[in-house]
Amino acid sequence: MIPYAPWIVWTVPIIIAFIHPLLEKISGKLRDFMAIFAVFISAVSAASMIPDVIKGSVVINGVEYHIPYDWKLEGWLPLPTGSIEVGMLIDPLSVFMANIVGWIGLLIMIYSIEYMHGDESITRYWMLMNLFIGFMQLLVLADNFLIMFFGWEGVGFASYALIGYYYKDEKKYWIGPYSPTHAGMKAFIMTRIGDVGLLVSIVVIYIYSGTTNFLALSSNFGWMGNLARDGLLAITLLLLFLGPVGKSAQFPLHEWLPEAMAGPTTVSALIHAATMVKAGVYLVARVTPILYLGYASLGELIYPSLNTFFITVAWIGGFTAFLAASMGMVSDQIKKVLAYSTVSQLGYMISIIGVAGLLIESEKLFFEGYIAGISHLYSHAVFKALLFLSAGAVGHAIGSYMLRDAGGLKKYLPRTYLVMFIGLAALSGIPPLNGFFSKDGILHLLYAEHMWPLFILLSLTAILTVFYSFRLLGLIFYGERENLEHGHDTHLHDPGPFMMIPLLILAGASVVGGFLLPNLHGFFEFWAVEGLGIHIEKITLQSFLTSTFTSPILLVSLGIIIVGIYPAYSIYIRGALSAEELLEKYSVLRGIWRFLFERWYINAIYYKVFVDGTRFFSEILFKFIECNGAGQKIKSFYSSLAEEFRYIQTGYYRINMIYVLLGLLMIIILALILGV
Amino acid sequence: MVEVVLNNIFELSAYLSPIFILAAFAVTTPFINYILKQMGKEKYLGVWTSFAFLSSLIVLTISLIGIRWLGEPIILRLGFSPIESTLIIDPLGQFFAFIFLIVSLAAAIHSITYMERDLNLGSYYLLMQFMTIGLVGLTYTNDLFTFFVLWELMAISSYVLVAFRYHLDEPVEAGVKYILMSGVGSLIMLYGISYVYGFVGSLNAKAIHFGLTALPFIPLIFVLSLLLIGFGIKAAFFPFWTWLPDAHPAAPSPISALLSGIVIKAGILGIIKFIVPVVGFIRLELGLTMAVIAGLTMTVANLLALMQDDIKRLLAYSSITNIGFILIGVAAAIYGAGISGVASSLFHTFSHALGKGLAFLAVGSIIYRLETRSISKIEGLGRKMPFTAAALIIALLGLAGMPPLPGFWSKWLLIYSSIQAGLWGLAFIGVFNSVLAVIFYLWLLQRLFFAEPTEKVLDEGKEPPFPIKLALALLMVIMIIIGFYPAPIFDMVINAAEVFMMLFG
Amino acid sequence: MIEANQMLILTAFILIIIGLYIVITKRNLLRILVGVEIIATGVNINFIALSLLKHPGLLDPLPHVLAITSILLDGALVGVGLAITLIVYRKYGTLDIDTLRRLRW
């Protein structure tokens, strides 16, 4: 390990982020170099921790410590109710996540050199990207909930600023009816709703345990027992889960991610595919072992609460997977399809970790489910980054992300076609790409444990996934090239080396990634044995492949691929059937299409209830409180809500005095009602 | 508890040195003013005032450390029974005084340049000093009589300061409303005090605690709600807030910083000193009343704040929201959380005083250069006045509870105390409101930093002169340090709350 | 039989109600200031009355001191109030408080 690696990982990008304005004054080249160099340092430091984790011990200042090791700065916040420290945790999960963030971040930063070339506010871009990576590393390496929450808020903030990066709101960056700034705001609000739950539950856990430290929480279970005795355990855990629901865009807070695509594509790739949205999965994966250990020592006392929690997690994940995949089938923008697909795949991960929790009674199955979730996280990070970046290459070439502007690009962008094909095939789970192995692991566990409802739901989702993947492929690369009059076609070409190399690396990783899954398993083994007390067999590549290709689930996987590809192939690639004609012919299909295109009307309902509802409410208010004239209006997300409220402020002295008397009355009445 | 009977003015001045220093400076201010006026350098009176606050702050810090070391409060008796006045030197009061003086110091430094174009600077600084004397004095009071006198000293100075620029329309109108509303509020409070006297026979805090707790429910509610209105009008919580969005923006910016940062905290101080001990142990239901008020205050003010284009008015509404946050702690303290409730109120008082003070001073710097308060006219400010804009944003994010700034810690403590008291709903409303506030602050941030600069900003935007920068930097540095290393403030507020609760325990 | 001090308490209460009524209904600034003064008078009377009730036959100096102080402070309040009223009259040419409605939201 590089000395102080867990600290370097996150401090270097944050520090560099703040000196970017200074670097810009020296030279633009230096600034670009430093931005990438910071991420490189971060990635290398993260990688340097891998051998220690495999070995199971880490040497710090000449002393050898066991993994998981908690590197604390004592005395930061000694509270009488239980002190809180800044600390970095070195354990398989955090090091694994730090590497994903670091290396994929590095590739995306390299890609950005060309992609963002010539952008007028590139300093802001580098600054925010570095800031984001720093906070994300802080999030995954933090040793306690509070510091993790710092990172959590930090990435939310950076993501908000990056989604609204094109703040001038040119029409071409709009996603649907929403401008980039609106989208950023929406994303921030929706994830903040999740944060409300998260913060409250952290405080509750702190009240009961006197600590927020992960290791302390997993070594002393009094807090869990006390919470369970007060009947608060389930609700606390569900509140905690609200954070991941917001951050990982799970139902019912999934509506922000599609609009979040308004930012630059690199941002979508880094934040909304590979890293930040994984924070929710990470948190669930972080909490699950703690709960497992709690169950191991407290048993029946907390079992009902844990069951409630894990059933919710598994089903919210499963349902989101299906919901988002179905929306992805009809979407009309490349990035939006990928966004839905991200939501859907995140649903898979969360669902399978929930399933692992449901299998908590059997240590082996618990671990298998847990690793399945982690494996899928890893595969998805690779192929989704690849997909977004290749979508960026397509967008770079045609100047638009609308599917109707694409089509027939295969002969113009052959290399982009190749990498995107690999990405989509991995997403669909075609063997032997990494998506196949990780998805197979998920379905295998569900199949083996006879969890039929979830199995069927997730298999159906897999069919939809295959369908929309190949629909996307067909719509972008096959068919006739139209819209020649735009004149874009003259410079339709594959991107240059800075964009192409990361794409090729990611494509290569997608191809070989599946065969590395046994190594990932091995990465977690030591921790499982020492930390969780689970006795597991070592998996070699050979046994892994044998078990994968001899299990009956292989047939299911192949069936899924065939069922999914066939309609997509005949409609969008071969062009034998026309989607428009089909829709015209069958009114049922049309209805379904409409329903899916309107996103199950969930978005409309949200706007109806929260925006129009307040308008209705304020009209009533309006009738009672006189007003005239209007001040300057500000368009903000909540403007309609706030606009009418201000008529309370009438400016009449008399009315103010009446408020005082009413207030007196209110206090007395309240006290009487509540007191007697 | 250490009790000291004071016999002469020298002993008194030794114990109350922060106030006496302020008073000494205030008494000499007119002469200094006369001299400076003869020299034609009237604006240097601000330096004199800053010096007054600074020296008082230094003495206070020493006394703060001493009290922390002593571990128990000192009660001073002066005069003779029964019209003796008792003063108390306890960590709670000292903590408030500490906040008051820091913000006053920054405001005084800021005034040096901000007020340089105004006339009557002598009375301006004198009133500012009187207001600070009133505020700092309030923190030492242990009985309602002294409290009321100092309260009025502070209030009347603030009336004049709001209407200080009487040649303009806005301050006059705001001043009229402020004086009429606040004056009536003070009188209602006095009416309440008269009944406290009627029921208890004394106005000493401890006597009030024992006397009122023995009262039947209805008279108790009557007395307390009268007191609550008095404090409430000053602290501007629901539904008494109506004067605040007029008065605070109308005053000169340093005064706005004082009004929003610390003057409204006097109401909170009153509530903590005289209402929490009375009801905090027996009438838990009143905690729910406070909780309802807190929730309404936050939500309504937040919704109103979202619509403002006038940046000072926006900040004024945000002050009301934060008063709601502070009341969460009060409600929790009454409802059973005790120490952690009071401590969370104190911490949020600290972070809001500094944050709002800084925000108003930063806006003052914008007004000094651009002479506008409209948000739409100061877009893209970050390009031309990065320091000012950064100060404003740090202040706002600090208020919104963005880690790692003081606001996050105080909100953490507020949620802690409200959940500890079992007020789950209030905790949720609180966090939800901070979400709502963040939305607006982020939107503001976006316009300040990312938007294209308006012509006005391009033409006139320039960093403010040194004194304004110094004032901003003072508060900003404290906020950032406390944000990263909040342990000292945690220690202070928890100790203050413990000692305070021990007084009545 | 109502005793004198109870009478006084009632009087004080009525004075305060009258004051509040004036403050709320009147539009003329001067009248409102008079209303404020009536409230102040009521409060002071209440103080003295309660001191009689609390310690019958004994003169407790505390309420008297407080009442005198309060009268003093009211003087200051009204002084400032009248000064502002004067400015309002010069500026707007009227004392109607409802014309002062520029600051609304």
Confidence of residue B70 (pLDDT cuts 50, 70, 90): confident
- Subunit contact C47:B149, Cβ cutoff 8 A: no
pTM of model > 0.80: yes
Contact list in A for residue B435 (CB cut-off 8 A) is: 189, 192-193, 195-196
Q: Answer yes or no: are the C-beta atoms of A346 and A481 closer than 8 Å.
A: no
Partner C, chain B 256-315, Cβ-Cβ below 8 Å: 304, 307-308
Instruction: Tell me which residue in C40, C69, C84 faces B179 most closely, judged by beta carbons.
Output: C84
The residue type found at A136 is M
Say what the pLDDT of residue B221 is: 84
Mean pLDDT of A611-634: 43
Closest CA to A313 of A356, A350, A282, A343: A350
Partner A, chain B 351-390, Cβ-Cβ below 8 Å: 374-376
> How far B11 CA lies from chain A's nearest CA (Å)?
36
- Specify if C105 maps to a domain: no
- Subunit contact B450:A164, Cβ cutoff 8 A: yes
Contact list in C for residue B82 (CB cut-off 8 A) is: 60-62
Q: Answer yes or no: are the C-beta atoms of A656 and B176 closer than 8 Å.
A: no
For the record, the structure tokens of B2 come out as 């250490």
Say what the pLDDT of residue A27 is: 83
Contact list in A for residue B490 (CB cut-off 8 A) is: 77, 79
Lowest-confidence segment of A568-582, B44-58, B162-176 by average pLDDT: A568-582
- pLDDT tens digits along A121-130: 788 888 888 9
Closest-approach residue (CA) in chain B for A192: B435
Mean pLDDT of B81-87: 71
Instruction: Tell me which residue in B238, B307, B431 faces A642 most closely, judged by beta carbons.
Output: B307
Mean pLDDT of A460-468: 90
DSSP structure class, residue B463? P
- Domain coverage including residue C79: 4-99
Instruction: Tell me which residue in B145, B170, B198 faces C54 most closely, judged by beta carbons.
Output: B198
Mean pLDDT of B316-336: 89
- pLDDT tens digits along A331-344: 888 888 888 899 99
A506 pLDDT above the threshold of 60 = yes
- pLDDT tens digits along B3-52: 777 777 777 777 888 899 999 999 999 999 999 888 888 888 889 999 99
Q: Which chains touch C (3 or more CB pairs under 8 A)?
A: A, B
Instruction: Tell me which residue in A167, A638, A664 faces B439 most closely, judged by beta carbons.
Output: A638
A645 pLDDT above the threshold of 60 = no
Mean pLDDT of B328-337: 87
Residue B251: burial class (beta carbons within 10 Å; 0-12, 13-18, 19+): buried
Of residues B9 and B232, more confidently modeled: B232
DSSP bridge pairs for A457: none
Say what the pLDDT of residue A628 is: 28
> How far C45 CA lies from chain B's nearest CA (Å)?
10
Report which listed range, A6-20, A61-75, A152-166, is most confident: A6-20
> How far A645 CA lies from chain B's nearest CA (Å)?
6
- Subunit contact B181:A631, Cβ cutoff 8 A: no
Contact list in A for residue C20 (CB cut-off 8 A) is: 657, 661
- Subunit contact A653:C104, Cβ cutoff 8 A: no
Longest dimension (CA), chain A: 85
> Considering chain A, what percentage of its residues have pLDDT values greater than 70?
90
Q: Answer yes or no: are the C-beta atoms of B151 and B186 closer than 8 Å.
A: yes
Q: Answer yes or no: are the C-beta atoms of A107 and A385 closer than 8 Å.
A: yes
A90 pLDDT above the threshold of 60 = yes
Confidence of residue A176 (pLDDT cuts 50, 70, 90): low
> How far C34 CA lies from chain B's nearest CA (Å)?
11
Say what the pLDDT of residue A221 is: 82
C30 pLDDT above the threshold of 70 = yes
Say what the pLDDT of residue A430 is: 85
- Subunit contact C69:B149, Cβ cutoff 8 A: yes
- Decide if B215 touches A, using CB distance below 8 A: no
- Decide if B222 touches C, using CB distance below 8 A: no
- Decide if A624 touches C, using CB distance below 8 A: no
Contact list in A for residue C100 (CB cut-off 8 A) is: 651, 653
A170 pLDDT above the threshold of 50 = yes
Mean pLDDT of C58-63: 77
Confidence of residue B82 (pLDDT cuts 50, 70, 90): low
Contact list in A for residue B278 (CB cut-off 8 A) is: none
- pLDDT tens digits along C81-92: 999 888 888 888
- Subunit contact A657:C103, Cβ cutoff 8 A: no
Mean pLDDT of A463-467: 90
- pLDDT tens digits along B460-500: 778 888 989 999 999 999 999 998 888 889 988 998 998 88
Query: Strand, helix or coil at A74?
Result: strand
Q: Answer yes or no: are the C-beta atoms of B86 and B204 closer than 8 Å.
A: yes
Confidence of residue A617 (pLDDT cuts 50, 70, 90): low
Mean pLDDT of A339-361: 89
Confidence of residue B85 (pLDDT cuts 50, 70, 90): confident
Contact list in C for residue A661 (CB cut-off 8 A) is: 20, 24
Query: Strand, helix or coil at A164?
Result: coil
- Report chain B's mean pLDDT, rounded to a whole number: 86
Lowest-confidence segment of A54-58, A666-670, B293-297, B305-309 by average pLDDT: B305-309
- pLDDT tens digits along B191-201: 999 988 888 88
- Taking the C-alpha atoms of residue B234 and residue B320, their distance in angstroms, rounded to an integer, is 11
A485 pLDDT above the threshold of 60 = no
The residue type found at A405 is D
Q: Which runs of E-coded beta strand occur in A38-90?
A: 57-60, 63-66, 69-77, 84-90
Say what the pLDDT of residue A597 is: 76
- Decide if A633 touches C, using CB distance below 8 A: no
Say what the pLDDT of residue B350 is: 93
- Specify if C104 maps to a domain: no
Q: How far is CA A415 from each of CA A327, A347, A419, B49, rounded to the nearest angstrom? A: 29, 31, 6, 72
Confidence of residue A627 (pLDDT cuts 50, 70, 90): very low
A643 pLDDT above the threshold of 70 = no
> How far A236 CA lies from chain B's nearest CA (Å)?
12
Mean pLDDT of A546-571: 84
Say what the pLDDT of residue C38 is: 93
Closest CA to A155 of A128, A181, A175: A128
- pLDDT tens digits along A194-225: 888 888 899 999 988 888 888 888 888 888 88
Say what the pLDDT of residue A625 is: 35
Residue A533: burial class (beta carbons within 10 Å; 0-12, 13-18, 19+): exposed
- pLDDT tens digits along B415-455: 899 988 888 888 888 888 887 777 777 777 777 777 777 88
If one counts the domains in chain C, the total is: 1
Mutating which of A643, A654, A665 best tests the C interface, going by the most C Cβ atoms within 10 A?
Answer: A654
Contact list in B for residue C66 (CB cut-off 8 A) is: 145, 148, 193, 197, 203
Lowest-confidence segment of A175-184, A286-295, B45-54, B230-239 by average pLDDT: A175-184
Per-residue burial over B153-170, b if 16 or more Cβ lie within 10 Å, else e, is bbbbbbbbbbbbbbeebb
CATH of the domain at C11: 1.10.287.3510
- Pair type for strands A84-90 and A69-77: antiparallel
C105 pLDDT above the threshold of 80 = no
Q: Which residues contact A40 (CB under 8 A, 6 or more apart)?
A: A106
- Subunit contact B288:A75, Cβ cutoff 8 A: no
Q: Answer yes or no: are the C-beta atoms of A125 and A48 closer than 8 Å.
A: no
> How far C27 CA lies from chain A's nearest CA (Å)?
8
- Taking the C-alpha atoms of residue A321 and residue A318, their distance in angstroms, rounded to an integer, is 5
The angle subtended at Cα A381 by Cα A378 and Cα A382, nearest 5°, is: 90
- Decide if A610 touches B, using CB distance below 8 A: no
Q: How far is CA B382 from each of CA B330, B454, B495, rounded to the nearest angstrom? A: 38, 11, 40
What φ, ψ does residue C100 adopt, rounded to 5°? -85, 75
Q: What is the complex's ipTM, to 2 decimals?
A: 0.93
Asked whether the CA dihedral B157, B125, B365, A24 is positive or negative, the reply is: negative
Instruction: Tell me which residue in A646, A658, A661 faces C105 most closely, judged by beta carbons.
Output: A646
- Decide if A552 touches C, using CB distance below 8 A: no
Q: Answer yes or no: are the C-beta atoms of A458 and A446 closer than 8 Å.
A: yes
CA A283 to chain centre: 11
- Decide if C61 touches B, using CB distance below 8 A: yes
> How far B9 CA lies from chain A's nearest CA (Å)?
40
Confidence of residue A635 (pLDDT cuts 50, 70, 90): very low
Lowest-confidence segment of A633-642, B315-324, B461-470 by average pLDDT: A633-642
Contact list in B for residue A15 (CB cut-off 8 A) is: none
Say what the pLDDT of residue B44 is: 86
Place of tokens 């595969």: A379
Asked whether the CA dihedral A538, A541, A542, A548 is positive or negative, the reply is: positive
Confidence of residue B81 (pLDDT cuts 50, 70, 90): low
Helices then strands, each counted (H, E), chain B: 23, 3
Q: Which chains touch B (3 or more CB pairs under 8 A)?
A: A, C
A611 pLDDT above the threshold of 80 = no
- Specify if C56 maps to a domain: yes
Partner A, chain B 129-168, Cβ-Cβ below 8 Å: none
- Decide if A668 touches B, using CB distance below 8 A: yes
Closest-approach residue (CA) in chain A for C20: A657
Contact list in A for residue C21 (CB cut-off 8 A) is: none
Contact list in A for residue C97 (CB cut-off 8 A) is: 653-654
Say what the pLDDT of residue A651 is: 58
A659 pLDDT above the threshold of 90 = no
Instruction: Tell me which residue in A199, A636, A667 faces B289 most closely, judged by beta carbons.
Output: A667
Say what the pLDDT of residue A622 is: 40
> How far A53 CA lies from chain B's nearest CA (Å)?
30
- Subunit contact B289:A153, Cβ cutoff 8 A: no
CA A321 to chain centre: 13
Say what the pLDDT of residue C61 is: 79
Say what the pLDDT of residue B269 is: 92
- Subunit contact A657:C102, Cβ cutoff 8 A: no
> Considering chain A, what percentage of its residues have pLDDT values greater than 90?
9
Contact list in B for residue A185 (CB cut-off 8 A) is: 439, 442-443
Place of tokens 């410590």: A65
B116 pLDDT above the threshold of 80 = yes
- Domain coverage including residue B78: 2-504
> Considering chain B, what percentage of its residues have pLDDT values greater than 90?
28
CA atoms within 13 A on the CB side of B54: 11
DSSP bridge pairs for A88: A71, A142
- Subunit contact C20:A657, Cβ cutoff 8 A: yes
A608 pLDDT above the threshold of 80 = no
Say what the pLDDT of residue A173 is: 65
Q: How many inter-chain contacts (A to C, CB under 8 Å) are there?
A: 31
Confidence of residue A175 (pLDDT cuts 50, 70, 90): low
C99 pLDDT above the threshold of 70 = yes
Q: Answer yes or no: are the C-beta atoms of A455 and A447 closer than 8 Å.
A: yes
Say what the pLDDT of residue A399 is: 76
> How far B177 CA lies from chain A's nearest CA (Å)?
6
- Specify if C71 maps to a domain: yes
If one counts the domains in chain B, the total is: 1
